[in-house]
Every structure is written in structure tokens, then in C-alpha cells.
Amino acid sequence: MTPSDCPEPAAATITPYPDGPLIVRGDFAVIAPDGRQIDAKRRTIALCRCGKSALIPFCDGTHKALGFRVDTHPTPVESAG
Amino acid sequence: MSDPYGRAALPEPRGPVSAMLREALRRAPHDLPAGPPVDFTGTDPLTDEDLQLTLFLCYELHYRGWQGVEDAWEWQPSLLAVRAIAERRFEEAIRRLAGSQPTVSPDDLPAALHRLTTDDEGPSLGEFLRRRGTLPQFREFLVHRSVYHLREADPHSWGIPRLGGPPKAALVEIQMDEYGNGQPHRMHAELFRTTIDRLGLDSRYGAHLDAVPAITLATNNAMSLFGLHRRLRGALVGHLAAFEMTSSLPNRRYGDALRRLGGDAAATRFFDEHVEADAVHEQIAVHDLCAGLVRQEPALTADVLFGAATVLALDDLFARHLLGAWAAGRSSLRSTASELVHLSAVVSSVPRAPVTARSS
């Protein structure tokens, strides 16, 4: 199957990478609890999943030093089309 | 003031082959003298100054070229023949250095890359600089790194037309960020120029080539070797992955080192940016680029690991060179007078904040 067989699923996508951060792509904004917009600075971002980043909400690679593990086996979603 | 992005001046020769080549490059393209076979005298290609400079002279013709050297030299057959001799020795040396890698299936490649980069127990340049590096040592470190960072990401861009489908999209996704997503002031090479400007170092492209030793040229030549040979595309993406995987944490240390030494936010931004950017790039490089490529071409799995191991092995030699020189009270550069004392070569249009070491 080639990528062109998989139409874009949404305006933005969130991908949990194995033992790593959540990678966000597409048309998104990062908003703080108080409503302020946080400058994401790039088109593809990594959100911290281990909770120990010094750059929360973004990943800074600390999870590797901690040996962070998560069992990520996202169930493939059946395409409606 | 000369174009800060333009061609560098031809470096001084470092032995008979680079001297012959440098002399020839100053004239119109012609066949190099067919005389005695090209002979590099160094026993280890990785520290052979003549061999590494010869390779660098040849490779730069594919990037921006040299001042006063005609463009047609890029594909001059007798020059390419000399380059091929140097490349054979160099590739053999890095394959020996990188060592044999375990045979893994394409599905196990991400785990293998992870093991390779976390088992690395080489000396930590970042930790040394963060704890007790001096300002002159930090500046030396930047001089070495300037050879790459002033053209940051360029060698891996050679891979783009060699890939198709998902791994191509992944490589472009990384490179877009490296090149500032269309905003020149966010290009990583530009952030680096700001950093070394702030530290009073010449930030013109290729400004410090005469100062850096063979091992520094070798780290750059490895990327050019992988980038310019399609057969080594697996090694090229493996190299990028290991680069990204071993970047976030060291860059935090480099940034902390420069803050301790009095660097302001503009000076440290290059390192701070890499902490965050490379945490993103690492995931894309491992899972989308490398794993994506070996899903298409399983036979490249071993080369991906070879490219990754090359980064670790050369970085290790590079760190040992710097730390060894500093431990012995020496400079890690070939010449310090022209590089570190001659600070006013470039007049920056940006007001330069004084960067001073704390007195402690």
C-alpha cells in the first residue's frame, strides 16, 4: 500500500512513537491552560510523554536517560473507505 | 566584506597530494600529472592530514566550490580518480573503526539503533564543557564544529532524490526544520553564525578550515562520502539518525556550558534549539526514515547500522582528540594564532554583547 492509498485522516495527526514522545503534525496550535498560545516554533512537534522534560510540554530527550518505556501498539484503524 | 555564504579560500596544503591538488585547482581544469601513484604517507587514514584535506578539497567542489577555482573541476575525471583512491582508504578505515554490527531484521532496526546509541561509552565532551570547560576551550570546540554547522544539514540533503515515498517525506520533514521552514533566521546554520559571532569568531563559510585537524575533516568527509555515493544511501540515513539520537542531551550540556561562561540567550539559542528540534528529528529519523527505508529495501539494514556506528566511532575519536589536547595543556587546533586571536576579522552588523568568563 502506498501513502496515496491512505487519504489524510484529519487536519492534524498525533502519533505515539515507541518509548518516546507524541509527534504532532498538521494544522495545530499549542495552547496553555490559561489560554495563551505557546510558540511551537516548528511544523512538527514532539510532546513529552514521560513527564520529565525540562521543556514541557515539548520533549527534550530526557525519556532516554530515564529508560522510559511504554507499551505502544496502537490498534490499526480500519479504513472506512 | 566578502560574502559570508560564498566560497572559502583554498586551505593550505598538508602533504604532497593535497599540495599537488591545490596547485592544480588554481589553474584551468586539466588532467592531473600522471606520475607516481597517489601516495598518502599516514598510517591511519582518519588522522592522515594529507588524505583528509585531499578528500575535503575534492568534496567541496560539490558544495559551494573554492575561491578562484573553476566550477568545471567538479567532474574532472583525473581529479575524481584521485578522490576515488582516497575514498577507498577512508571507507575501509571507517568500516574497520565502526566494527561489525549484529545482523538484525528490518523490524528490529529501531531497537538496534537505540542499543547502539545508548551503549556508547565514549568520553563526554558535553559533560566536560558543562562542568569545567574554559571560554578558550569552548571557542575551540566551536571552531571545530563550524566546518559542519555553517552548512548544517547540507550533506544529508544529498539523500533526498535517492529516496521515494515515506522515507523521502521523512527526510524532507527533518531537513525543512534544519533549514528554518522557509525562515532564514531560523536556519540552524544561521543560529550557529549568531553563536560564533557573539563569541567573536569569524563566521564566514569555511573560515576555519586551516585550523582544524584531520579528525574534524574526517567527521565531515564521512557525511560527504555517504551523501555523494548512492550505494551508501543506507549509511547516509543511519548517519543522520545517530546524529539526531545523540544530539538533544549533549546540546543541553553545551548550552549550559556557554551560559556558565556568560553567553547570552542569542549565543546559546543554537544549542537550545537543538535540544528541542532533535528530540523531534530523532523520532522521525529512526521510525520514519530508517525503518521506512529498510521496509522498502531490507538489504540496506546493515548499511544503516554502519552509518550510525560511524557517527559514534568518529565522535568518540573527535572527543578524545579535544579532551586529550586540553588535558595536556595544548590547543586542539592546528593553529591558534590565526583563529582565536584574530577576532576582528568580521565586523558584525549585529551589536555584539560582551561575552566574558566569570572570574571564578
Domain boundaries, position B66: 16-96
User: CB–CB of B110 and A18 under 8 A?
Assistant: yes
- Shared-domain flag, residues B333 and B236: yes
Question: What DSSP character marks residue B122?
Answer: -
Identify the residue with better confidence: B13 or B101.
Answer: B13
Examine the pLDDT at B351 and tell me if it is beyond 70.
Answer: no
A76 lies in a domain?
Answer: no
Q: How confident is the model at residue B130 (pLDDT cuts 50, 70, 90)?
A: very high
- Shared-domain flag, residues B78 and B116: no
Distance (Å, whole) CA B318 – CA B250: 14
B118, B181, B252 member nearest A60 (Cβ):
B252
B235 lies in a domain?
Answer: yes
- Shared-domain flag, residues B130 and B87: no
Q: How confident is the model at residue B284 (pLDDT cuts 50, 70, 90)?
A: very high
Mean local confidence (pLDDT), B335-360: 43
Residue pairs spanning A and B at CB distance below 8 A: 62
> Which pLDDT value is given to residue B38?
74
> Which pLDDT value is given to residue B222?
98
Mean local confidence (pLDDT), A4-28: 89
Mean local confidence (pLDDT), B177-196: 96
Cell matching residue B326:
586540553
Q: Please choose, from the candidates B119, B148, B112, B118, the residue with its C-alpha nearest in 3D space to the C-alpha of residue B294.
A: B112
- Shared-domain flag, residues B88 and B119: no
Per CB-CB distance under 8 Å, the chain A contacts of B250 are none
> Which pLDDT value is given to residue B300?
97
- Shared-domain flag, residues B91 and B118: no
Cell matching residue B179:
533549514
- Shared-domain flag, residues B230 and B177: yes
- Specify the amino acid at residue B290: C
Beta strand A12-16 with A37-38 is unpaired
Distance (Å, whole) CA A5 – CA B103: 32
Classify residue B231 as exposed, middle or buried by CB count within 10 Å of its CB (0-12, 13-18, 19+): exposed
Chain A segment 45-74 residues within 8 A of B by beta carbon are: 45-46, 54-55, 58-62, 64-65
Complex ipTM value = 0.84
- Shared-domain flag, residues B24 and B153: no
Per CB-CB distance under 8 Å, the chain A contacts of B287 are 17-18
* B47 contacts B14 by C-beta, under 8 angstroms: no
pLDDT in tens, B160-174: 999 999 999 999 999
Whichever domain contains B336, its CATH number is 1.20.910.10
Cell matching residue B146:
563550524
Cell matching residue B358:
566569570
Q: Please choose, from the candidates B7, B71, B45, the residue with its C-alpha nearest in 3D space to the C-alpha of residue B217.
A: B45
Alpha helices (runs of H) in chain B, residue ranges in sequence order = 16-25, 49-60, 77-98, 109-118, 125-132, 135-149, 154-157, 166-178, 188-198, 214-228, 233-245, 248-260, 265-283, 291-296, 301-327
A71 lies in a domain?
Answer: no
Q: How confident is the model at residue B33 (pLDDT cuts 50, 70, 90)?
A: confident
Say yes or no: A42 contacts chain B, CB-CB below 8 A.
yes
Identify the residue with better confidence: B55 or A73.
Answer: B55
B252 lies in a domain?
Answer: yes
B351 lies in a domain?
Answer: no
Q: Number of structural domains, chain B?
A: 2
B110, B166, B279 member nearest A60 (Cβ):
B279
- Specify the amino acid at residue A54: A
Half-sphere exposure of B345 (CA within 13 A, CB side): 18
Say yes or no: A23 contacts chain B, CB-CB below 8 A.
yes
Identify the residue with better confidence: A6 or B39.
Answer: B39
The end-to-end CA distance of chain B, in Å, is 38
B353 lies in a domain?
Answer: no
- Angle, helices B135-149 vs B125-132, to 10°: value is 140
> Which pLDDT value is given to residue B350?
39
User: CB–CB of B248 and A3 under 8 A?
Assistant: no
Query: Residue A26's beta-bridge partner residues?
Result: A12
B358 lies in a domain?
Answer: no
- Shared-domain flag, residues B201 and B314: yes
Examine the pLDDT at B136 and tell me if it is beyond 90.
Answer: yes
Say yes or no: A6 contacts chain B, CB-CB below 8 A.
no
> Which pLDDT value is given to residue B102?
86
pLDDT in tens, B285-325: 999 999 999 999 999 999 999 999 999 999 999 999 999 99
What residue has cell string 564543557? B129
> Which pLDDT value is given to residue B26?
97
Residues of B with CB under 8 A from a CB of A: 110, 114, 118, 165-166, 169, 173, 176-177, 181, 186, 247-249, 252, 273, 275-280, 282-284, 287
User: CB–CB of B249 and A58 under 8 A?
Assistant: no
Q: What's the mean per-residue pLDDT of chain B? A: 91
Q: Number of structural domains, chain A?
A: 1
Domain boundary among B96, B122, B139: B96
Distance (Å, whole) CA A64 – CA B280: 13
Least confident range of A26-40, B28-42, B153-167, B207-221? B28-42
A7 lies in a domain?
Answer: no
* B325 contacts B332 by C-beta, under 8 angstroms: yes
> Which pLDDT value is given to residue A48?
96
| Three-class DSSP category at A26 | strand
Identify the residue with better confidence: B234 or A74.
Answer: B234
Domain boundaries, position A60: 12-66
A57 lies in a domain?
Answer: yes
A36 lies in a domain?
Answer: yes
Q: Please choose, from the candidates B233, B216, B351, the residue with its C-alpha nearest in 3D space to the C-alpha of residue B296.
A: B233
